[in-house]
Structure 1
Amino acid sequence: MLNLVQLRYTDTSLFILQRGKTFVYLLVYVDDILITGNDNSSIQRVLHSLADRFSVKDPKELNYCLGIEAHRTVKGLHLCQRKYIIDLLQRYNMLYAKPVATPMASSPKLTLKSGSPLPDGTDYRSLVGSLQYLSFTRLDISYAVNRLSQFMHRPTQEHWQAAKRVLRYLAGTTTHGLFFAAKNNLALHAYFDADRAGDRDDYVSTNAYIVYMGTHPVSWSAKKQKTVARSSTEAEYRAIANTSAELRWICNLLTELGVYIRVIPTVYCDNVGATFLCANPVFHSRMKHLALDYHFVRG
């Protein structure tokens, strides 16, 4: 049996075999396994070793896994969840719904008390849970899904209509997904933003980021912060810390995969106060709670 070293620091489901310049990567999710590498003979040896101890189906080229469709061309790899979207639309009788241009209306903003409570919120919770899985390849619905997830304990008619709007948006964009070109540079850069006190119920800010490797989005998130920010600088600064944490995790993962980033990752910030704070902080009684985030970003 070949020795596969588990990557315990970044992803506990990822295993790697390295022998000189040969790499084999094995990703496990329950009983589904993805395996790839830069040497076909090494990949075959790993597959034969697994088949000697476990009941393994005949390996096939990656085309569908965990609801994600993979289409490979000479130009690159396209990942989408078209079948998953169609099944979801059929389940809620929205397959032929009139498409809309955006997944969520900009106004009025949803609140906990928007509309009358649903008699039974089971369908709402099921739909939002399905949309959460869909956001793995559809970063364009990440914010809408995060917002809808905040009302799962008490969904209302307005929340339900907002969730159905996401389905209407998906009805017109079933083939959208992620495309990874065969030729791409390895420079990492990230964009982020924060909506200070954007939640009218608890006035907690929402921060979002997207990390690119070259021209490819590789990580994204939209979620509420843990505490209330008393200024836009504080909200943006915490968003920088969250983005920096994600960038550091990606760099660690790439290093363990044998991919080395030669250029220092760049984080783009549109808040002057947060930028100045990162470059030349002045810690006083009102900024001590940001000391941890500051040292994390500088580190």
Structure 2
Amino acid sequence: MLIFGTDQNQVDKTKKFLSSKFSMKDMGEADVILGIKIKRKNKGIVITKSHFIEKILKKFNHEDCSWVSTPMDPVEKLMLNTSKHVDQLEYSRAIGCLMYAMTSTIPDIAYAVGRLSTFTSNPSRQHWHAITRVFKYLKGIMNYGLSYVRYPLVLEGYSVVSWINHVEDSSSTSGWVFLLGGGAIS
């Protein structure tokens, strides 16, 4: 369990109450939780997935790859696989790792991961090449993170949609981000 707040007195009271009801051990300030690195900076926190990214780059043999500035090639058209597929299990594992990174600290790969996950049942070399590009992008942004500082608690929402950008299947893609106090929450 992670207990945090802006008032140390309240945090201590909460810990005291919980420890009276449950067997607990106070492990001090959190450094890493669920694979997310927590850094305290400038009266706020920054969360990153740098060590997780290193792990998945090593797992998929891309630790020494060069980096690229975007997670997807904007001119490449991903098509359904009509030839021999690549290892479906390995492709699924890569997509799973990317989804975990995307949902917690790296929302800018959401479009690429969402698009690539549609090919999980029958991936091709082209799709695996596109995943490799996402890995290369992660290599370049490995030490970036989401910053949460003391901003006024204002809820902001932004969305984007591309209407029928996949001519093959007449589908559109949309995305959104919600910020609370200047930090991404969804």
For residues 56-111 of structure 1, the C-alpha deviation after alignment (integer angstroms, 9 at most, x for no partner) is 23231122100101101234211101000001111111111011111110122212
Output the CA distance in 2 between the equivalents of 1:54 and 1:74. Answer: 34
1:115–1:105: structure 2 CA closer, same or farther, 3 Å change rule? farther
The counterpart of 2:30, out of the listed 62, 68, 79, is 62
Match of 2:18 in 1: 50
Structural mapping, 1:85-100, within 5 Å: 85-100=53-68
Residues 115 and 215 (structure 1 numbering): CA distance in 2 closer, same or farther, change over 3 Å?
A: farther
Give the conservation status (yes or no) of the 8 Å contact 1:128–1:149.
yes
Q: 1:44 to 1:216 in 2, by over 3 A?
A: closer
TM-score (normalised: structure 2)? 0.89
Is the CA contact (8 Å cut-off) linking 1:137 and 1:177 kept in structure 2? yes
Counterparts in 2 of 1:91 and 1:202: CA distance versus 1, 3 Å: same
The answer to whether the Cα contact below 8 Å between 1:63 and 1:69 also exists between their aligned partners in 2 is yes
Identify the structure with bigger relative contact order (alpha carbons < 8 Å, sequence gap 6+). Answer: 2
Contact 1:69 1:81 survives alignment (8 Å): yes
Give 1:190's match in structure 2, choosing from 143, 152, 157. 157
Between the two proteins, the alignment pairs up a number of residues equal to 185
**Aligned counterparts, 1:142-221, within 5 A:** 142-182=110-150, 184-213=151-180, 215-219=182-186
Deviations 1:203-226 (A, max 9, x none): 12111112233543332xxxxxxx
Quick check: which has more Rg, 1 or 2?
A: 1
Decide whether aligned partners of structure 1 residues 46 and 157 sit closer, same or farther in structure 2, where only a CA change above 3 A counts.
same
Name the residue aligned to 1:252.
none
Contact 2:105 2:146 in 1 (8 A): yes
Pick aligned residue for 2:8 from 40, 60, 77: 40
Q: Closer, same or farther in 2 for the Cα pair 1:108/1:37, shift >3 Å?
A: closer
Q: Residues of 2 paired with 1:187 and 1:41: CA distance?
A: 25
CA RMSD of aligned residues (A): 2.0
Instruction: Give the percent of matched residue pairs that are identical in Structure 1 and Structure 2.
Output: 32
Q: Distance in 1 between matches of 2:44 and 2:99?
A: 26
1:126 aligns with 2:131: no
Task: Please list every run of at least 4 consecutive aligned residues from structure 1 whose deviation after the TM superposition is greater than 4 angstroms.
Answer: none
1:144 partner SS: helix
Paired position in structure 1 for 2:75: 107
**Secondary structure at the counterpart of residue 38 of structure 2:** strand
